[in-house]
Chains A and B, each alone.
Chain A
Amino acid sequence: MRVKMMAAALTGLLAVSALAGCGDKGDDTGSGGGGDGKLVLGFSQVGAESGWRTANTKSIQDAATAAGYELKFSDAQGKQEKQIEAIRSFITQKVDVIAFSPVVTSGWDAVLKEAKDADIPVILTDRAVDSQDKTLYKTFLGSDFVKEGKEAGNWLVKQYEGKTDPVNVVELQGTVGAAPAIDRQKGFAEAIATNPNIKIVKSQSGNFTRAEGKTVMEGILQSTPKIDVLYAHNDDMGLGAIEAIEAAGKKPGTDIKIITVDAVKDGMTALSEGKINFIVECSPLLGPQLMDLAKKVKAGDTVDQRILTVETTFTQEQAKAALPDRKY
């Protein structure tokens, strides 16, 4: 029995150490804090949960190399405690600037206070925190999800300008409770409120995934008599829904107009093929902007509390032009 337990414990340990190995790799690159005059940036990433996130990480790493900064990169693997630990370690290493994409919105006050006391400026990327004390961080760099929803809605309103027929819209929401899902829904609803003919007839969660997007769309196609427009909170759900629409014998992009958010490569491909009609970009490529901000806060310049990622929207023609250079 003892042998068995030893074996169990060993296997467990191996598994854990193997996992830890992946995440900690970035921590030990480079030594000490900025002895050679280079700007040292400590960055804690949420994890590697999607292609979007992978592109985000790569953009930050590439931009740091291009700017000649020393980047201390740490992967929190979706765990807040790991992220707090990483930030503490950045503080002890006396980095020049700390940046991170918070895993969750709450519970950051204590560690941010520590950074402030150590006189290290903090930049939030991609996701916000709900701290009451806004002096705990310098700025929040990221997309405005409400604006993305509005852009999607505005395009739709424009398409049906001057027409009086009712327009039935189906909405595929992201993960229930996630900030992008809440805000993209809100922005879209605000924009289409200007035209009383446009109505959301069904709104269901597809959990941001292709498979659920497809299953939910199958169900909606079966239970909704007339669908004119599909609005999906991300490309992947839209791509899943396209499969369901085709299986039902309808033509995506023609019989049902499709609007999505994100503009990842697969989504852009579908857009250029005419299966999607309009995509609002949610860009992960905020590396260069982050490096610029890091330099400014290090120098003590004042920066805006909220800075938007540079983003655009794509029609089918624009997608054809942009597709060859799409990296993610």
Chain B
Amino acid sequence: MTILKNRLFWPAAILLALLIVNVFTSNQFITLQDGHLFGTLIDILRGSAPLILVSLGMTLVISTGGIDLSVGSVMAISGAVACLLIKDLGNQNAVGSVLLIMAVAIAVSAALGLWNGSLVAIVGIQPIIATLILMVAGRGLAQLITAGQIINVQSSPYATIATGFFLTLPVAFLIALAAIGLIAVLTRRTALGLLLESVGGSPSASRLAGIQAKRITVMVYVVSGALAGLAGLIYSANIKSADSIYAGNLIELDAILAVVIGGTALIGGRFSILGTVLGAVLIQTLQVTVVGIGVPSKATLLFKAVVVVVLCLSQSVTFREKVFGRFKSRPAVRAEVPA
């Protein structure tokens, strides 16, 4: 029974169920082709990388009681900056220059995160408002960078981060895996995780206890910005172009959903890295499944909503007691009636 009570049991069960559906709907669930793994499972892992990265940043921000709505716009800006610079390269396949450009794009994204963090921690604006500014203005900025056009690049090192394979595994997934590992070690093997939860629980109590609450708050927004920037690079490398209008559009909502599915409290003070990753992979699997089983386009959103509702209900203790505990509780109610 204890495994049933684990918050992550139901999301994991639904993920497994969706994967089993995909085993039957796909020609190749997982095979070896052209020297690397190939198939629906690999598509899911590769496709979920941007959402995992964005959701990781979102988890840290939410654990301090904040929220970052600007991640989608940061993704668009990062992809736009990278593609604009790569396009001007004499040799688009120069690995060194492309790596440098990617570093620049991530640095720009981190700077945007610093802007968010400063508005929240130093100026004291509500996180939802502070990041809303960049969410709206940032997309405009991205469109300004690309002059409203889609910028195409023909750089194979750049495309590698999204579509390449290393040791038979997709590079994009390995990047996400590295980010997961790094953040898990930093938050669970050092005191950082405790400090985050403490700031999320009560910023003023943390400050009185000697924790640099403001510095921690600014830091999580910077990390969230940088991770969104990395996600933006993978997104744009995947289509070898910068689409400033649609890149990362509405991804903040998917990321928040992934975080919530993973069991992180929206009011802050508690977070789960593993849960978030599970949530992000679940959302991506759901999208792939919709195509796999051929849900009509008009019913796609409804189908997704039904799965999410079932998932959220299954995670609610009150709901589970009402439904599954009904038969047990009935005698108790009857005993009270005669009195």
Contact = CB atoms under 8 A, between A and B. Distances in A.
Interface string B25-51: 111100001100011100100010000
A219 B124 contact: no
B175 interface: no
B156 to A, nearest CB: 13
Task: Point out which of B28, B33, B43 has the most chain A C-beta atoms below 10 A from its C-beta.
Answer: B43
Contacts of A223: 25-27, 40, 291-294
A4 B127 CA distance: 13
B36 to A, nearest CB: 11
Contact of B136 (A15, A210, A224): A15
A22 B136 CA distance: 13
A143 interface: no
B129 A12 contact: yes
Q: Interface size bucket, B side?
A: 35 or more
Given A223-B25, A223-B294, A8 B149 contact: no
Contact of B123 (A7, A51, A248): A7
Given A54-B148, A219-B43, A247-B163, A205 B300 contact: yes
A216 interface: yes
Contacts of B39: 222
A163 B235 CA distance: 41
A8 B246 contact: no
Interface string A231-275: 000001001100100011100000000000000001000000000
Contacts of A48: 143, 148
Contacts of A249: 33-34
Contacts of B290: 204, 219
B133 A12 contact: yes
Task: Point out which of B33, B43, B136, B291 has the most chain A C-beta atoms below 10 A from its C-beta.
Answer: B291
A209 B150 CA distance: 11
Contact of A15 (B137, B150, B235, B239): B137
A74 to B, nearest CB: 17
A49 interface: yes
B142 to A, nearest CB: 12
B298 interface: yes
A215 B292 CA distance: 11
Interface string B289-309: 011111011101000000000
A223 B293 CA distance: 8
Classify the interface of chain A: helix, strand, loop or mixed: helix
B73 interface: no
B26 A4 contact: no
Contact of A204 (B119, B163, B239, B291): B291
Contacts of B292: 219, 222-223
Interface string B106-143: 00000000000001000111100110010011001001
Given A19-B137, A210-B241, A4 B123 contact: yes
Contact of A211 (B124, B247, B297): B247
A205 B126 contact: no
Nearest to B150: A51
A11 B148 CA distance: 25
Given A51-B150, A54-B149, A203-B297, 5 more contacts: A49-B245, A218-B43, A222-B39, A223-B291, A243-B239
8 contacts: A7-B124, A15-B136, A15-B137, A211-B235, A222-B39, A243-B163, A266-B150, A266-B241
The 10 A-B pairs with the shortest beta carbon distances in the complex, nearest first, are A219-B291, A205-B297, A4-B124, A222-B26, A209-B246, A210-B239, A8-B125, A223-B292, A54-B148, A222-B40
Interface of B: 25-28, 33-34, 38-40, 43, 47, 119, 123-126, 129-130, 133, 136-137, 140, 143, 148-150, 152, 163, 235, 238-241, 243, 245-247, 287-288, 290-294, 296-298, 300
